[in-house]
Structure 1
Amino acid sequence: MNAISPIAGAFPQPAPVPLIPENAPFTAEQRAWLNGFLAGLYGRAALPGTAAAPASEPEEEFPWHDPALGLDERLAMAAGKPLSRRYMAAMAQLDCGQCGYVCKTYAEAIATGAEGSLSLCVPGGKATQKALKALQAEAPAAAHPAPAAKPAGPALVPVRLLAADRLSGEGSTKDVRNLVLDLEGTGLRYEPGDSLGLLAPNNPALVEACLSALGATGEEPVPCPDGIARPVQEAFLAHLAIARPLDRTLDLLAGAARDPKEAAMLRRLVDGEDNARPEDADLLDLLEHFPSARPSLADLAASLPGLKPRLYSIASSPLAMPGKVELCVSVVQAERRGRVRQGVASCHLGFRGLEAPMPAYMQVSHFRLPDDPNIPIIMCGPGTGIAPFRAFLQHRAAQGIMGRTWLFFGDQTSSADYLFRPEIEGWLADGTLERLSLAWSRDPGTAKVYVQDRMKEQAADLWRWFQDGARFYICGDASRMAKDVDATLREIAIREGRMDADAARDWIVALARQNRYQRDVY
C-alpha cells in the first residue's frame, strides 16, 4: 500500500539558528562541516537557503514517531507519558491506515475504549500486539474505560474504474496496473501527493469457501459493524474483513472448539505463546485448520473487523487528468497452503473492478510539492513508490516548470519493470526532470543495484542539493527500502557533512521538522 506517514507534523517548528555566511574565511567543505555541526547543536538543518521557521504555538512532540527506531527504543522514549502515548510508541509508526486510524488515533481509541482490538497494526504484527497487551496489563484498573463510540469514518462516494492497464512488461514477476478512475460528479478533488481510499469487496470465491466450511446457506442474518443485520453472504462480501481475523476471533474459536487439542492450540495463539497459526491466516485458513471450532454465525461475524478502505498514493495531476485520477497498483497474489491468496483491494481492482462502482474518499496529505518551484526536489520511489512522483512531474510539466528535480527509481529489471518509462524519459528530454538515477536489482549479467546504492555513488551531488535547500521525498516499502534510504542519508551526512552519528541523526530530524524530508511509506 502507498500510505501516508506525516512525520513532519509530529514535530514542533524549530527556532532559527546561526549560519556560516558565504563570505566567511572558510572553504565550501569547511563551511558545510560547520553548518552540519550547528544543525546537530541546535536540532535543525542549518543549510544555506533555509529560511527561519515562523513562530508558532508549542505542539506536543512524539519523538518515538519514527519507523527507523526499534520498538524497545520507542517504548523507552514514551516511559512516564500518558497511557495513550505509550500505546502509540508500540505502533509501527507508519500511519499506513490499515488499522483504520493513524498511530496516534489508534492508540487514543484503545485508551478511551473506543477500540477493543489490539491486533489491528498490520506492519507492527505480533510485536506490537504483545507490547500493547503488556501495557494494558500494567495499567491500573481506572485506566480501562468503558467502551466508547467509535468515531465516524470518512464519507464515501461511489467512483467508477475506467481502465486497469498493465504497466509491467513481458517477463516481469510482478503485475503492476495503471488504474484510471472517473471523478466526474463525485465532488472529490485532489492535489499531487494526496491518496485515494477505495473500499473494495472481498473475493466472492473466498466468501463462498468460508460459507461452505461453515455449512451456511448465505442467507442467515448476522450483525455488521454499522449495527445493521444482513445476510451472512452479503456481510462477508462487503462489510467484514474475512482476510484478516482479529485476536478476538481466535478467542471465540477457542471457546467454541469441541476438540480439546484444537481448543488448547487456539488458546495458546490467543495468548501469543505459539506460532501454530498459519502465516498470514485468513478466516478460511482458521476454519480449515480448526474444523471443530464452529461458533454461531452471529458471534463469528461480531468478532470480525469491519472491511476498511485501502489507501493508494495518487499517480496523476488534476491539471493533466481533469475529472479523473490515476493509481499505480501492484496486484498481489501468492500461493500458500495449496491455494492462491489474493490481496483484497489490489486483485479486485485488477480483475473485477470494472464491474461496478466502488465507495471512495480522498485523503489529503502533507506530502506536497513546495510552493516555490525554484526549491530543488529529490524524489526516491522504487517500484510502485513512483506513484506520487509521477504526479509531481506530471503537475510540473502541465505548469511548464523546468528543472531542479532529481528522481531515483528502481525495480527488478530495466526491460520489464521500468514503470512509466516513456513519460519519464520524455520529461528528462524536455527538462521537466533534471536528473534521473536508475537502479535494477535483477538485470541479467549485472550486480544487484538498489536506489540507495545510486545515492551513495552520487553522495557529493546530493549533499550540494541539500545545501541548496532541496526537499527529499521518499515513497515505498517502510520495513526495508525506506530504512535503507534513511541510513544512506545519514551516511552521506557523516561523510559529506563531516558529522558524527548523533549530528547526522539530528540533521535528519531537522529536515523533517522543516518539511524538507517527507515520507509516504507503507
Structure 2
Amino acid sequence: MTHVPLIPENAPFTAEQRFWLNGFLAGVLSRGGAAAVAAAPAEAKRPLLIAFGSQSGNAESLAKRLAREATGRGFAARAAGLDSLQPADLLKDKNVLLITSTWGEGDMPDNAISFWDAINQNGSSPKLEGVQYSVLALGDKNYGDTFCLAGKKLDERLAELGATRIVDRVDCDVDFDDLAKKWSTNAFTLLSGSDSAAAAPAAEEEKETGYTKKNPFPSPLLANVALNASNSSKDTRHIAFSLKGSGLTYEVGDALGVFVQNCAEVVDSIIAAHAFDPEATITLESGATCALREAMIKHFEVRHLVGKTPEAGIALPAFIEGLRKLQPRLYSIASSVNAHPDEVHLCVGAVRYSTDGVQHKGVASTFLSDRLPLGETTGIYFHAANHFRLPTDLSKPVIMVGPGTGIAPFRAFLEEREVTKAPGKNWLFFGDQKRTTDFLYHDQIIGWVQTGHLTRLDTAFSRDQEEKIYVQTRMMQAASELWQWLEEGAYFYVCGDAKRMAKDVDQALHEIIQTAGGKTVEEAAAYVNEMKKAKRYARDVY
C-alpha cells in the first residue's frame, strides 16, 4: 500500500517535525482507526490584516466585509483601523491589504494620520521587508490632481520601506464596488500562496437584506421648510423623509444616502447642444433600456457638461460611454429617531451660482429643494458613521462645532441627549452670515438654552459687524473654559467645510491646548492625537 503523508508539506512544521508527526499519527490510526484523525493538528491559517483609513465609513465598512470574506476563504483575517496600528504590526501579520479614502485637498483620513506620521519618521519606522501588501484607494475623480492621493502616498511609502506589492494599487471613483471586488479576489488568490486557489470555490458572498444602497427604500418627502429668512443670501432647507413601513432605523451621527435626479432643463439644453434625439434608446449598465432624456435625468452625471462646448461630431454611443453613473448623495442626519419616530431629517443648503454667465445648480441640493414635490418618493438608505458617535458614557461633556449646515448632526445629538436624559454638559458653537436671517433652527436651539439642556451656546455671525467673526474666533475667546471641559473628558466634534473651517478649527484647538493648557507645540499635537485614539475628537467634514 502506498504511504500517504498525513501532514502536508505546506503545513507549518520542519521536515523533521513532519517525519515524527506522520509516524505518530500512522501508529494512532493503526490502533484507533480513522476517528483518531480528528485529533490531528489542524493546518495553521494564513494571517491577513485588512487595515483601513476611513473618514465617512466607506473604507471601514468595506474592510470589515472583506475580512469576513477572507475568513470564509480560510485566512485568519482581521480588520483594523490605521489609528490602532503601528508600522511594526505589519511585520507581525506579514500579509496586509490596506483600504483608504482621501478627504479635503488630498489629506489622509483622520484615523490614518498617526500611522502616516509614524511611517514617515526617518529612522524610526522599521523596514518592512517580508511584508506582502496591496492598496485599494477610494476617491472622487471630481477632485482632479488629489484623486486618491492618500492611497497613492501610502502605497509608495510602504514600497520605500521594503514591503512587497503583490497586486498593483487600484484607484476607485465613487462607484467602487466592482473594482474593489476584482482587487480583493486577486489579492486573496495571491496571498493564499497557491495558484490553485484561483480555481478554488470562493466563499459565499454576504447577501444584503432589507433596504440598502443597492435596494433603496422609496421614501415620501414629508417636509421642505426654508430655514433662512426671505431676505437672506442663502437658501437652506429642513428636509424630512418618512420611514414608515420600511423597518429602517439609524443612529445619530449616521448619514442618509439619497438618490437624486438631474434638472430636466439642464438635460434638455445638453441634448439640444449635441443635436441628439431625446427619444433615442439607451442601454443601461443593468441591461435595461430607456430613452436618452430619461437616462440623462435619472442615471448619468451631467453637471460637468453644463456650459461646455459640445465636441464636434461626437456619436451618441461615444458620448454615453464618457458619462459617469449618477451617484446617490450622502447627507448628515439632522434628527434623532427617538425624537421623531418613523422620520429622518436633513439640513440642506441649496447650491446655485453663476460662472462666466452660465448658471449652475447643485444636483442633489436643488433636487431636494426645488424638484421633489411633497409626497413624492425617492430612494434612500442609511450609511453608518461609526467614527462619529456620541459617548457611551452619558455623563461625559460634549463640545460641538457646526457652522451653517454643519449644525445637522448636532441637532440630532442634542435631540438624542434630551430624549435619553443624558446628564453630561452640552456646548454648541454655531455660525453663519447674519443672526436675523441665518440662525438655523433658532427657536429649538434657544429653547434648549432656556431649559439648560444646552449648557453653553457661542454664535459667530460673520457679517453682523465690520470684522469677520467665525466659530474658531469664539473658540479662542473661550479658551480657558474649553480647556477645562477637555480636561474633564469632553468629546469634541466638528461638522462642515473641510477645506477651510475644519482646518481652522483644528488649528484653534491646538492653540487652545498650548495656551490654556500650557503645552508645547509637540505636546499639544500629542494631546490631540490621544483624543483621536480615544474617539474623543471626531469630524464629519465634506
Residue in 2 that maps onto 1:327: 346
Residue in 2 that maps onto 1:312: 331
TM-score by length of 2: 0.67
- Offset of residue 508 of structure 1: 1.4
- Describe the superposition over 1:14-73 as per-residue Cα deviations: whole angstroms up to 9, x where unpaired: 99xxxxxxxxxxxxxxxxxxxxxxxxxxxxxxxxxxxxxxxxxx99999997859868x9
Q: Please say which of residues 473-482 and 331-340 is displaced more in the overlay.
A: 331-340
Q: Label 1:143 to 1:395 Cα distance change in 2 as closer, same or farther (>3 A).
A: closer
The answer on whether the counterparts of 2:134 and 2:168 sit within 8 Å (CA) in structure 1 is: no
- Offset of residue 154 of structure 1: 4.0
One-letter code aligned to 1:216: F
Q: Label 1:65 to 1:296 Cα distance change in 2 as closer, same or farther (>3 A).
A: closer
One-letter code aligned to 1:149: D
- Offset of residue 5 of structure 1: 3.6
1:348 aligns to 2:361 (yes or no): no
> Once the two structures are aligned, what percentage of the paired residues are identical?
35
Residue in 2 that maps onto 1:375: 396
Q: Please say which of residues 427-436 and 362-371 is displaced more in the overlay.
A: 362-371
The answer on whether the counterparts of 1:223 and 1:298 sit within 8 Å (CA) in structure 2 is: no
- Offset of residue 502 of structure 1: 2.1
- Describe the superposition over 1:185-227 as per-residue Cα deviations: whole angstroms up to 9, x where unpaired: 1222112111110010111111111111121221212232334
Look up the SS of the partner of 2:435 in the other structure: coil
- Offset of residue 397 of structure 1: 1.9
The answer on whether the counterparts of 1:405 and 1:435 sit within 8 Å (CA) in structure 2 is: yes
Look up the SS of the partner of 2:325 in the other structure: coil
Q: 2:427 aligns with which of 391, 396, 406?
A: 406
Residue in 2 that maps onto 1:517: 537
1:296 aligns to 2:312 (yes or no): no
Look up the SS of the partner of 1:213 in the other structure: helix
The answer on whether the counterparts of 2:100 and 2:151 sit within 8 Å (CA) in structure 1 is: no
Residue in 2 that maps onto 1:169: 229
The 2-side partners of 1:66 and 1:201 are apart by 25
The 1-side partners of 2:327 and 2:248 are apart by 19
One-letter code aligned to 1:316: S
Q: Please say which of residues 131-140 and 219-228 is displaced more in the overlay.
A: 131-140
Q: Label 1:514 to 1:305 Cα distance change in 2 as closer, same or farther (>3 A).
A: same
The 1-side partners of 2:458 and 2:99 are apart by 34
The 2-side partners of 1:322 and 1:430 are apart by 23
The 2-side partners of 1:189 and 1:126 are apart by 38
Residue in 2 that maps onto 1:492: 512
Q: 1:184 aligns with which of 223, 244, 251?
A: 244
Residue in 2 that maps onto 1:273: none
1:13-28 alignment, distance < 5 Å = 13=84
- Describe the superposition over 1:223-261 as per-residue Cα deviations: whole angstroms up to 9, x where unpaired: 323343332112101111111xxxxxxxxxxxxxxxxxx
The 1-side partners of 2:223 and 2:330 are apart by 18
The 1-side partners of 2:531 and 2:97 are apart by 18
Q: Please say which of residues 384-393 and 133-142 is displaced more in the overlay.
A: 133-142
Look up the SS of the partner of 1:143 in the other structure: coil
One-letter code aligned to 2:168: A
1:45-60 alignment, distance < 5 Å = none
1:464 aligns to 2:484 (yes or no): yes
Q: 2:178 aligns with which of 149, 166, 173?
A: 149
Q: 2:468 aligns with which of 442, 448, 454?
A: 448
Q: Label 1:500 to 1:146 Cα distance change in 2 as closer, same or farther (>3 A).
A: closer
The 2-side partners of 1:150 and 1:354 are apart by 36
1:254-293 alignment, distance < 5 Å = 282-286=304-308, 289-292=309-312
The answer on whether the counterparts of 2:228 and 2:437 sit within 8 Å (CA) in structure 1 is: yes
Q: Please say which of residues 512-521 and 182-191 is displaced more in the overlay.
A: 182-191
Q: Label 1:492 to 1:144 Cα distance change in 2 as closer, same or farther (>3 A).
A: closer
The answer on whether the counterparts of 2:97 and 2:134 sit within 8 Å (CA) in structure 1 is: no
Residue in 1 that maps onto 2:459: 438
The answer on whether the counterparts of 1:463 and 1:493 sit within 8 Å (CA) in structure 2 is: yes
The 2-side partners of 1:170 and 1:300 are apart by 41
Q: Please say which of residues 333-342 and 151-160 is displaced more in the overlay.
A: 151-160
Q: Label 1:150 to 1:231 Cα distance change in 2 as closer, same or farther (>3 A).
A: farther
The answer on whether the counterparts of 2:107 and 2:149 sit within 8 Å (CA) in structure 1 is: no
One-letter code aligned to 1:199: F
- Offset of residue 11 of structure 1: 3.8
In structure 1, stretches of 5+ residues that fail to align are 16-57, 89-102, 107-119, 244-281
TM-score by length of 1: 0.69
1:420 aligns to 2:441 (yes or no): yes
Residue in 2 that maps onto 1:234: 294
The 1-side partners of 2:344 and 2:397 are apart by 26
CA RMSD for the aligned pairs? 3.7
Q: Label 1:317 to 1:131 Cα distance change in 2 as closer, same or farther (>3 A).
A: closer
- Offset of residue 517 of structure 1: 0.3
Q: Structure 1 or 2: larger strand share?
A: 2
Look up the SS of the partner of 1:478 in the other structure: coil
1:385 aligns to 2:410 (yes or no): no
Aligned length: 404
- Offset of residue 149 of structure 1: 3.4
The 2-side partners of 1:406 and 1:133 are apart by 38
The 2-side partners of 1:383 and 1:165 are apart by 16
The 2-side partners of 1:517 and 1:76 are apart by 18
Residue in 1 that maps onto 2:208: none
Residue in 1 that maps onto 2:273: 213
- Describe the superposition over 1:99-121 as per-residue Cα deviations: whole angstroms up to 9, x where unpaired: xxxx4xx5xxxxxxxxxxxxx34
Computing the radius of gyration over CA atoms, which structure comes out larger, 1 or 2? 2
- Describe the superposition over 1:433-462 as per-residue Cα deviations: whole angstroms up to 9, x where unpaired: 10111111001x442111101110111111
- Offset of residue 156 of structure 1: 1.3
The 2-side partners of 1:313 and 1:151 are apart by 25
- Offset of residue 365 of structure 1: 1.3
